Amino acid sequence: MAEKKKSPVEKIALQCTECKRKNYTTEKNRRNSPNKLELMKYCPFEHKHTLHRETKVK
């Protein structure tokens, strides 16, 4: 059976640092940004902008 090549683009989830819920999913290129992604995004559960960090998609 042929092996599947690993793509440099991977799917990630963004988890809120305050409520710990995964609110967003996106894609990231591992070669261009090897570090964990951190963005200020709107959290609908907290009703404000909070820091969201990269986590794995399950």
Cβ atoms of residues 38 and 28 within 8 Å: no
CATH for 10-56? 2.20.28.120
Instruction: Look at residue 23 in the predicted model and tell me its pLDDT.
Output: 95
Both structure tokens of 25? 């999913």
Integer Cα distance of 30 and 39 in angstroms: 17
Amino acid at 12: I
> Mean pLDDT for the chain?
93
- What does R_g of the chain's alpha carbons equal in angstroms? 14
Integer Cα distance of 7 and 15 in angstroms: 23
Tens digits of residue pLDDT in 8-29 = 999 999 999 999 999 999 999 9
User: Residues 21, 23, 51, 38: is their CA dihedral positive or negative?
Assistant: positive
Asked whether residue 1 carries a pLDDT value surpassing 90, the answer given is no
2-6, 14-18, 21-25, 52-56: lowest mean pLDDT where? 2-6
Please give the model's pTM, rounded to 2 decimal places: 0.82
